């Protein structure tokens, strides 16, 4: 996408990308976000941004605050302080419904599917297609599901079975279809490949590239550093609720990132 | 997997894998729900056994008539309990709440309205205002309990256990412990024997119901074809339609076969100042209370399968976190579900007090257990997310058949309850085994 390229062409881009210098408008800006749970500062003054057509990876130990941070963006939690800007405008996100209004879609680590419902009911959960009489239009929902699944996962045929009967990859397709179908502009993926096999992981990677090419902004959380180097434009590392740093992937090695995760500093910037 | 058949589109998946197989079994082609067949089978077995034990007295039109009016009150509440249990809650207060609603309605029509508005006893508006007051009472108390559960996050078990003690005695306070009666005659018509359609209207109702059922099945088939989904063969569709039509008309025929005793008819004629013609006879037909149950069943089934509310109820039961993250307001949903339960309890209170022709303090005692048992026997999973309205009604019918069958056979009272308790536990065990075998959860 052009905007990412502009950023890359930025002569001053020696280390971090300076969003203001590139001239492009960020899709999402998180500014000085803080949230505490019973005295524990889970997210402590983190600022991040995301551009259209860009994948930003979030890395860190378990409990570093990555999931909490993106849950603030997706409306599952409410930040104690800080500001969220979408397209440069201040956004108020108090619930998942608010987030959806800003075209923010989230694929959760735990998949967030209702096991007892079929794929179509899950895909449209909370946003059912209704007939003129106000009833849920199951036939149309199933037809739409069939359409989007043909694109995402052509092998997917178990449309009318509860999703508990599906494999991990198929369930993940349902979760992804849900995000894609409603024209997300900002996609949050929390460990989307954690439960998947090799083939399915590759499928998700291809999909991320395709969505990126379409101009979506994607926040990706994963523990797989290599996968992150492969898919992301920038990576942000968190430790103990604080942001260690944000780096363009071409400026750092996997080892650099690992030491950021483990030691909480970038050896290139702060030589030991 | 058919245990999720309350979930739209999850209709008998048993048939699906066989799609590609050349030889499909007879039952597969009918695409009938195995669980439903199992319950109908159990019900028929109960009926046949008791019929043999009672030398044919169990399956007489008269006893079937009585069975159906005895089942109505519990069955209406059981449909609401399905929603409660599906959302992973429980309501232990329904029997007590029934007493409060019944007390309010009884006092309205015999004391409060006549005293405040000056409406004379027997005024046409009395029963309807009383029923309205009862429904509002049920809805408000239900919503209040739902609020305690949903917003204040007190476990439903505790809230409704408290309610079990509270509402029974609120009813006691309202009436000062007195039995209130006799209730208004129009009101009593909802009780069963005092209000029936008569033979002619029963037939008309049966034919209309059968017609609607046929139309619904045909249009569902057309809809499927329109979207390019597989449908079952025409002959299988015809068999299903045939069974349904036969069941509806058969039920009407049986109820119409129960004739009003001639002394009752003679009394009616005498009351109108007329002479009863020689050889005159009339049948009871379908009781209004049964019509009420049918209406409740239809409405609740439509809510469960065809509305967003129903979809959210099942989604919340299946995965509360997923529902919440999908933007569903699960707290408000809890309030709605408990409020629906309260309204259904009030409707049951109309039927129960009308059947007794008065309100007494112990009305609805132990109903909470019967209602929960009916829902559970009907396949509602206490782990949430799974349950059907028709299952709960069938469950209520099976329970009532067992109970009155044993009474007819002359089984000792303690033994009756021992049997019912055993059946409840066994039914759940069978359900667990069945689900494990079909690969559900």
Residues A93 and A129 in one domain: no
ipTM: 0.80
pLDDT digits 0-9 by tens, B156-207: 999 999 999 999 999 999 999 899 988 988 999 998 888 888 888 999 999 9
Percent of chain A beyond pLDDT 70? 88
CB contact under 8 A, B440 and A95: no
Residues A9 and A136 in one domain: no
Query: What is the C-alpha to C-alpha distance for residues B238 and B210, in angstroms, rounded to an integer?
Result: 13
Location of structure tokens 């483990």: A262
The sign one gets for the Cα dihedral A121, A130, B84, B216 is negative
pLDDT digits 0-9 by tens, B385-396: 899 999 999 999
Check if the beta carbon of residue B319 is closer than 8 Å to that of residue A164: no
Is A108 inside a domain boundary?
Answer: no
Check if the beta carbon of residue A85 is closer than 8 Å to that of residue A141: no
Residue, of A202 and A217, whose pLDDT is higher: A217
- Write down the H helix ranges in A214-264: 225-231, 254-263
- Directed axis angle between helix B389-409 and helix B34-53, to 10°? 10
pLDDT of residue B3: 42
Residue A90 lies in domain = 2-103+184-263
Neighbouring CB atoms inside 10 A of A162's CB total: 28
Is A270 inside a domain boundary?
Answer: no
Residues facing residue B359 across a β-bridge:
B180
- B-facing residues of A in 225-244 (CB < 8 A) are none
Residues A149 and A255 in one domain: no
Check if the beta carbon of residue B306 is closer than 8 Å to that of residue A136: yes
Residues facing residue A248 across a β-bridge:
A234
Residues A174 and A195 in one domain: no
Q: How many CB pairs under 8 A join A and B?
A: 121
What mean pLDDT, rounded, does chain A reach? 82
Examine the fold and report which residue of A158, A183, A208 is the final residue of a domain before the chain moves on. A183
What the block records as the tokens of B126 is 């009395």
pLDDT digits 0-9 by tens, B118-135: 888 888 889 999 999 999
Is the model's pLDDT at A13 over the cut of 80? no
Is B91 inside a domain boundary?
Answer: yes
CB contact under 8 A, B229 and A106: no
What the block records as the tokens of A225 is 């550093």
Closest in A128, A140, A161 to B10, CB measured:
A161
Residues A145 and A93 in one domain: no
Check if the beta carbon of residue A57 is closer than 8 Å to that of residue A220: yes
pLDDT of residue B11: 39
Is A203 inside a domain boundary?
Answer: yes
Query: What is the C-alpha to C-alpha distance for residues B303 and A111, in angstroms, rounded to an integer?
Result: 27
What the block records as the tokens of A52 is 């259209």
Examine the fold and report which residue of A154, A183, A212 is the final residue of a domain before the chain moves on. A183
Residues A179 and A189 in one domain: no
- A-facing residues of B in 97-156 (CB < 8 A) are none
Give the CATH number, domain containing residue A250.
Answer: 3.40.50.300
Query: What is the C-alpha to C-alpha distance for residues B206 and B111, in angstroms, rounded to an integer?
Result: 39
Is B298 inside a domain boundary?
Answer: no
- State the Rg of chain A over Cα: 19
pLDDT of residue A19: 42
DSSP states of B389-439: HHHHHHHHHHHHHHHHHHHHHT--HHHHHHHHHHHHHHHHHHHHHHHHHHT
pLDDT digits 0-9 by tens, B73-85: 999 999 999 999 9
pLDDT of residue B90: 96
Is B237 inside a domain boundary?
Answer: no
pLDDT of residue A30: 92
Is B112 inside a domain boundary?
Answer: yes
Residues A31 and A163 in one domain: no
CB contact under 8 A, B11 and A160: yes
Is B428 inside a domain boundary?
Answer: yes
Collect all residues of chain A within an 8 Å Cβ-Cβ radius of residue B314: 114, 116-117
Residues A25 and A79 in one domain: yes
Residues A137 and A169 in one domain: yes
Low-confidence ranges of chain B (pLDDT < 50): 1-23, 441
Query: What is the C-alpha to C-alpha distance for residues B174 and B182, in angstroms, rounded to an integer?
Result: 17
Q: How many domains does chain B have?
A: 1
Is A109 inside a domain boundary?
Answer: no
Three-state DSSP class for A50?
Answer: strand
User: Residue A38 — pLDDT band, cuts 50, 70, 90?
Assistant: confident
Closest in A96, A97, A135 to B306, CB measured:
A135
Check if the beta carbon of residue A31 is closer than 8 Å to that of residue A83: yes
DSSP states of B184-246: PHHHHGGGSTT-B-HHHHHHHHHHHHHHHHHHHHHHHHHHHHHTT-----HHHHHHHHHHHHH
Is the model's pLDDT at A1 over the cut of 80? no
CB-based contact, B322 to chain A, within 8 Å? yes
Residues A94 and A217 in one domain: yes
Is the model's pLDDT at A265 over the cut of 80? no
- A-facing residues of B in 361-380 (CB < 8 A) are none
pLDDT digits 0-9 by tens, A51-108: 999 999 999 888 888 889 988 998 889 899 999 999 888 989 988 888 888 999 888 7
Is B199 inside a domain boundary?
Answer: no
Closest in A96, A121, A165 to B8, CB measured:
A121
Query: DSSP secondary-structure letter at A197?
Result: -
pLDDT digits 0-9 by tens, A130-162: 988 889 988 889 888 988 888 777 777 777 788
- State the Rg of chain B over Cα: 23
Pairing status of strand A186-190 against strand A89-90: unpaired
Three-state DSSP class for A218?
Answer: strand
Query: What is the C-alpha to C-alpha distance for residues B174 and B166, in angstroms, rounded to an integer?
Result: 12
Residues A234 and A191 in one domain: yes
- A-facing residues of B in 226-245 (CB < 8 A) are 226-229
Query: What is the C-alpha to C-alpha distance for residues B146 and B313, in angstroms, rounded to an integer?
Result: 14
Query: What is the C-alpha to C-alpha distance for residues A139 and A131, in angstroms, rounded to an integer?
Result: 10
Residues facing residue A247 across a β-bridge:
A235
Examine the fold and report which residue of A134, A152, A183 is the final residue of a domain before the chain moves on. A183
Q: How many domains does chain A have?
A: 2
- Write down the H helix ranges in A135-219: 138-152, 168-181, 198-213
Query: What is the C-alpha to C-alpha distance for residues B60 and A234, in angstroms, rounded to an integer?
Result: 79
Most B CBs within 10 A among A75, A106, A117, hence the mutation to make, goes to: A117
Residue B356 lies in domain = 36-194+329-438
* Phi and psi at residue B267, to the nearest 5°: -65, -40
- B-facing residues of A in 134-193 (CB < 8 A) are 134-136, 138-140, 142-143, 159-162, 164-165
Q: pTM for the whole thing?
A: 0.85
Residues A19 and A70 in one domain: yes
């Amino acid at each position: 996408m052009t905007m990412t390229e502009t950023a890359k062409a930025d002569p001053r881009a020696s280390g971090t990308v300076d969003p203001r210098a590139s001239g492009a408008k960020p899709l999402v800006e998180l500014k000085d976000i803080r949230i505490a749970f019973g005295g524990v500062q889970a997210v402590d003054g983190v600022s991040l941004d995301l551009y259209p057509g860009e994948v930003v990876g979030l890395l860190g130990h378990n409990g570093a605050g990555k999931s909490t941070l993106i849950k603030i963006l997706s409306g599952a939690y409410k930040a104690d302080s800080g500001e969220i800007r979408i397209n440069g405008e201040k956004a108020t996100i108090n619930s998942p419904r608010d987030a959806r209004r800003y075209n923010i879609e989230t694929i959760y680590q735990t998949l967030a599917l209702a096991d007892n419902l079929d794929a179509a009911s899950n895909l449209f959960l909370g946003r059912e297609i209704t007939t003129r009489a106000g009833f849920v239009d199951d036939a149309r929902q199933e037809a739409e599901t069939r359409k989007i699944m043909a694109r995402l996962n052509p092998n997917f045929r178990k449309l009318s079975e509860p999703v508990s009967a599906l494999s991990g990859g198929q369930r993940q397709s349902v979760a992804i279809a849900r995000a894609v179908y409603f024209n997300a502009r900002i996609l949050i993926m929390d460990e989307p490949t954690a439960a998947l096999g090799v083939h399915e992981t590759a499928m998700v990677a291809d999909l991320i590239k395709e969505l990126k090419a379409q101009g979506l902004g994607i926040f990706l959380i994963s523990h797989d550093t290599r996968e992150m180097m492969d898919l992301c434009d920038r990576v942000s590392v968190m430790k103990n609720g604080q942001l260690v740093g944000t780096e363009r992937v071409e400026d750092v090695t996997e080892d650099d990132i690992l030491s950021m995760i483990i030691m909480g500093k970038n050896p290139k910037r702060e030589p030991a | 997997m058919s245990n999720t058949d309350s979930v739209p589109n999850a209709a008998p998946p048993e048939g699906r894998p066989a799609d590609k197989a050349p030889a499909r079994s007879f039952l597969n082609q009918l695409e009938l729900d195995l669980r439903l067949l199992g319950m109908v089978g159990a019900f028929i077995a109960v009926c046949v056994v008791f019929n043999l034990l009672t030398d044919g007295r169990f399956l007489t039109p008269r006893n079937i008539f009585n069975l159906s009016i005895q089942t109505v009150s519990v069955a209406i509440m059981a449909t609401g309990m399905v929603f409660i249990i599906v959302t992973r809650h429980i309501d232990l207060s329904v029997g007590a709440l029934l007493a409060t609603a019944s007390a309010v309605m009884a006092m309205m029509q015999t004391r409060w309205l006549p005293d405040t508005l000056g409406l004379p006893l027997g005024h046409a508006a009395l029963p309807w205002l009383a029923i309205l007051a009862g429904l509002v009472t049920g809805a408000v108390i239900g919503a209040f309990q739902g609020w305690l559960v949903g917003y204040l996050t007190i476990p439903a078990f505790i809230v409704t256990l408290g309610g079990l003690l509270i509402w029974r005695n609120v009813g006691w306070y309202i009436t000062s412990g007195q039995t209130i009666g006799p209730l208004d005659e129009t009101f009593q018509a909802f009780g069963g024997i005092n209000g029936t359609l008569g033979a002619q209207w029963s037939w008309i109702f049966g034919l209309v119901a059968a017609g609607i059922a046929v139309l619904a099945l045909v249009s569902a088939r057309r809809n499927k074809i329109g979207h390019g989904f597989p449908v079952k063969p025409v002959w299988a569709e015809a068999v299903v339609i045939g069974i349904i039509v036969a069941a509806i008309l058969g039920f009407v025929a049986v109820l119409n076969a129960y004739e009003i005793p001639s002394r009752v008819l003679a009394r009616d004629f005498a009351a109108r100042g007329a002479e009863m013609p020689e050889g005159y006879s009339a049948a009871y037909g379908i009781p209004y209370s049964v019509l009420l149950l049918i209406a409740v069943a239809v409405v609740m089934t439509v809510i469960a399968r065809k509305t967003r509310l129903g979809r959210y109820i099942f989604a919340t039961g299946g995965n509360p976190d997923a529902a919440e993250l999908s933007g569903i307001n699960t707290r408000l949903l809890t309030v709605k579900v408990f409020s629906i339960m309260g309204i259904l309890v009030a409707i049951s209170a109309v039927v129960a007090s009308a059947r007794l022709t008065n309100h007494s303090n112990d009305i609805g005692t132990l109903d909470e257990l019967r209602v929960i048992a009916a829902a559970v026997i009907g396949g509602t999973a206490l782990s949430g997310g799974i349950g059907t309205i028709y299952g709960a009604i069938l469950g209520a019918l099976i329970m009532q058949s067992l109970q009155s069958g044993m009474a007819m056979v002359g089984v000792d009272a303690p033994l009756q309850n021992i049997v019912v308790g055993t059946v409840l536990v066994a039914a759940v065990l069978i359900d667990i085994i069945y689900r494990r075998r079909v690969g559900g959860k």
